[in-house]
Structure 1
Amino acid sequence: MRRLLFLVFAWALGSPDARAETTLELVTGEWPPYVSQSLPQDGVFSQIMRQAFQRAGYQVHITYLSWLQDEAQIRAGKAVAAFPYRPTPERQKEFDFSPPLMRTSSYLFYYKPNMPHPPQAFQSLDDLRGYRIAIQLGYWYLPLFQQHKLNTLLTSDEVNALRQLQKGHLDLAPMALERGLYLIHTTLPAHEKEFGYLPAPLDKETPLSLMFSRSYPQVERIREDFARALEQMEKDGSLKAIYQRNFPEVTPPR
């Protein structure tokens, strides 16, 4: 009798209805337009993530922390995943990653009135040595710019970099495409058409994923359920639709 009750209980835990009652803890940080408490449904990445988990039969609860705190939470198994994260060899030593929910590339933005003839067709970063380029500490492009001996100037953040472009103190500023367009639209709306970006990306399309804990209860099953739901969204066009709804100005969609 006890064995029968145990089997029934185990079946109930594995059923879709039981999963629908399960609320998963996830952690993130402010990084608009991908994720932010100030955006509808917490931003584009969160919209994709929520829909995939809902299809898989789960509810989610999101807590906003610093990025270092996010990693500590999933390392300790207090949250199932942190997002959005780029898979790197260092991170993959400790954590598992979902398939990409979206991809992004970084571009060099400029201010048209100060640069009527931008280097649109540069063949190598070496061709940009004559330009003053904004940087922020901790960003992925720093070793690349150092390797090509570019003329870089430290700015406090990406909004400050845009303002320095406008003032003529800088020539180029690297940013993830969607983030650069978002920041121009929200912080300098009266000058939105005065900014542009060079057509050649600085990097290959970078996947943005959920970074899963390895110690959260039943995490392997949760991760597999999520991956299947995300695959369905890609097949039925839901992923593309959410992206285009949030970034109608970006072509082609990523």
Structure 2
Amino acid sequence: MLFATKYVVRSLFFLFPLACYSYQSDTIQLASGEWDPYVTELKPGNGFITEIIKGTLETQLQITPKIKFMKWRGCEAHLRYGKVRAIYPYYRNKKRENHFAFSDPIADSNTVFFYIKDNIQSPPHNWQSLSDFTQYRMVIPNGYADEDKLRAANLQVSLAKDEETAFTELSAGKHDFLPLAELVGWNLLLKKFPDAKQRFATLKKPFNHAQLHLMFNKYDTRGLQLMEKFNKALSAFKTTDKYQEILTKYGIN
């Protein structure tokens, strides 16, 4: 998800990342947060990325994943402290690459700018840089990595506790734009706002496109070994009927 953390962790914890992790060859402890339909604690299967990861581990490597669901900021802290083997779904950035390693891509995500049609008379569909948004008010869920980009561009940025709160505040006219994964945004809107298609829209030009990964602690030798096995297993799993069934189930092209 595509999420940031501001935890400050001393290098000692990276040198001994798995002191408290009890490793069993047939199980793996993972962590994730709520980001439906990519991952969710609230539905059978736990989201299509979870189903792909489970399918890869169980059918190709005979490993049973156990998933801890928590707030996004907690996921990265758990990985840093060695309380889980890997977390997902995350995209690469330079800051994360200092401390973490990434599996091969599991899925893609487009982040777009959501807005209320009646509130923006001339939407900047052809924006060229974030500086084109200086006159607008942004809202973003707390913990999202894109917050750093928005603040670096000196934009007006407010934090919401979660995606639903961000949309509620956007709907109330407190903000102008909400950058969010397209699938996540429309999935939530169509559940919570009966008139979503009439009231909400997105800018034609996306904010960014990202590939989503399992993220490992780069100082965890066993984790890196597992990542290599997972990459080969994922490639094999993507050739199976089960993989295609998962994509069809979630309407993913």
TM-score bracket, normalised by the shorter chain, equals 0.7 to 0.9
Counterpart of 2:214 in structure 1 is: 210
2:73 touches 2:143 (CA, 8 Å); kept in 1? no
Cα distance in structure 1, aligned partners of 2:71 and 2:54? 21
- Check 1:52–1:164 CA distance in 2 against 1; reply closer, same or farther (3 A cut): same
Q: Map of 1:1-254 to 2, 5 A cutoff?
A: 22-56=26-60, 57-75=62-80, 77-115=82-120, 117-203=122-208, 205-213=209-217, 218-235=222-239, 242-243=246-247, 245-247=249-251, 253=253
Cα distance in structure 2, aligned partners of 1:169 and 1:146? 18
- Once the two structures are TM-superposed, the CA of residue 29 in structure 1 deviates from its matched residue by 2.6
- Once the two structures are TM-superposed, the CA of residue 138 in structure 1 deviates from its matched residue by 4.2
Give ranges in structure 1 of 5+ residues lacking alignment. Answer: 1-20
Cα-to-partner distance string for 1:148-179 (whole Å, 9 max, x where unaligned)? 44344444433233223323333221111121
Cα distance in structure 1, aligned partners of 2:145 and 2:223? 29
- Check 1:240–1:201 CA distance in 2 against 1; reply closer, same or farther (3 A cut): farther
- Check 1:121–1:244 CA distance in 2 against 1; reply closer, same or farther (3 A cut): farther
Identity, in percent, stands at 29
Could you tell me which amino acid in structure 2 is paired with residue 183 of structure 1?
L
- Once the two structures are TM-superposed, the CA of residue 100 in structure 1 deviates from its matched residue by 1.4
What SS does the corresponding residue of 1:106 show, helix, strand or coil? strand
Normalized against structure 1, the TM-score is what? 0.74
Cα-to-partner distance string for 1:41-93 (whole Å, 9 max, x where unaligned)? 11121011111112322222222234454445444545322222223344334
What SS does the corresponding residue of 2:68 show, helix, strand or coil? strand
Cα distance in structure 1, aligned partners of 2:79 and 2:158? 35
Larger Rg: 1
Choose between structure 1 and 2: higher helix proportion: 1
RMSD, matched Cα: 3.0
- Once the two structures are TM-superposed, the CA of residue 244 in structure 1 deviates from its matched residue by 5.2
| Number of aligned residue pairs | 228
Return 218-227 or 236-245, whichever deviates more. 236-245
Return 156-165 or 31-40, whichever deviates more. 156-165
1:29 touches 1:65 (CA, 8 Å); kept in 2? yes
Cα distance in structure 2, aligned partners of 1:69 and 1:147? 24
Cα-to-partner distance string for 1:16-45 (whole Å, 9 max, x where unaligned)? xxxxx8122222233333222102211121
Could you tell me which amino acid in structure 1 is paired with residue 146 of structure 2?
Y
Cα distance in structure 2, aligned partners of 1:240 and 1:201? 27
Cα distance in structure 1, aligned partners of 2:162 and 2:74? 21
Cα distance in structure 2, aligned partners of 1:78 and 1:147? 32
- Once the two structures are TM-superposed, the CA of residue 213 in structure 1 deviates from its matched residue by 4.4
Could you tell me which amino acid in structure 2 is paired with residue 185 of structure 1?
L
What SS does the corresponding residue of 2:45 show, helix, strand or coil? helix
Give ranges in structure 2 of 5+ residues lacking alignment. Answer: 1-24
1:118 touches 1:198 (CA, 8 Å); kept in 2? yes
2:120 touches 2:176 (CA, 8 Å); kept in 1? yes
Return 150-159 or 95-104, whichever deviates more. 150-159
